[in-house]
């Protein structure tokens, strides 16, 4: 099992999760985070920290696509280990549907 970041993170990018991760397996894109599935130790401490409820265990139904999505971008984006402010539109975008199609950017974030 691993944890994955889903589309709820897109256009919000809360980073509360990275502060509690004991293995630094979060990677930063321009407008979301991902978890490297091979680095995640399945401890689960990140899941309750996410204000957008974007972190899910891969054992939930229909998350196979998100495991591969997280793998792909964690290999392209820089690691992030310190909390940053969320994106300015985070509150208004939190819970919005269809965010991957509307807002997702493949561009890397700044990392640490």
The DSSP string of 46-107 is SGGG-TT--EEETTSTT-HHHHHHHHHHHTTSPB--S--PPPTTHHHHTT-S-HHHHH---S
Residue 107 lies in a domain: no
Confidence of residue 110 (pLDDT cuts 50, 70, 90): very high
Instruction: Give the pLDDT confidence of 85-104 residue by residue, as tens digits.
Output: 999 999 999 999 999 999 99
CA proximity to 102, closest of 16, 5, 2, 8? 8
pLDDT at 1 over 90: no
Residue 42 lies in a domain: yes
What is the CATH number for 27?
Answer: 3.30.70.20
Residue 108 lies in a domain: no
Query: What's this model's pTM, rounded to 2 decimal places?
Result: 0.96
Residue 77 lies in a domain: yes
Residue 95 lies in a domain: no
% of the chain residues with pLDDT over 70 = 100
Residue 28 lies in a domain: yes
How many domains is the chain partitioned into structurally?
1
Confidence of residue 44 (pLDDT cuts 50, 70, 90): very high
Domain of residue 11: give its range: 3-82
Confidence of residue 63 (pLDDT cuts 50, 70, 90): very high
52-74: average pLDDT:
96
């Amino acid at each position: 099992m691993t944890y994955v970041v889903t589309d709820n993170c897109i256009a919000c990018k809360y980073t509360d999760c990275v502060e509690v991760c004991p293995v630094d397996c979060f990677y930063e894109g321009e407008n979301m985070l991902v978890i490297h599935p091979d680095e995640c130790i399945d401890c689960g401490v990140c899941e309750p920290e996410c204000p957008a409820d974007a972190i899910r265990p891969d054992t939930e139904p229909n998350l196979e696509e998100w495991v591969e999505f997280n793998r792909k971008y964690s290999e392209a984006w820089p690691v992030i280990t310190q909390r940053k402010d969320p994106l300015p539109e985070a509150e208004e975008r939190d819970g919005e549907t269809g965010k991957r199609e509307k807002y997702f950017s493949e561009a890397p974030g700044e990392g640490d």
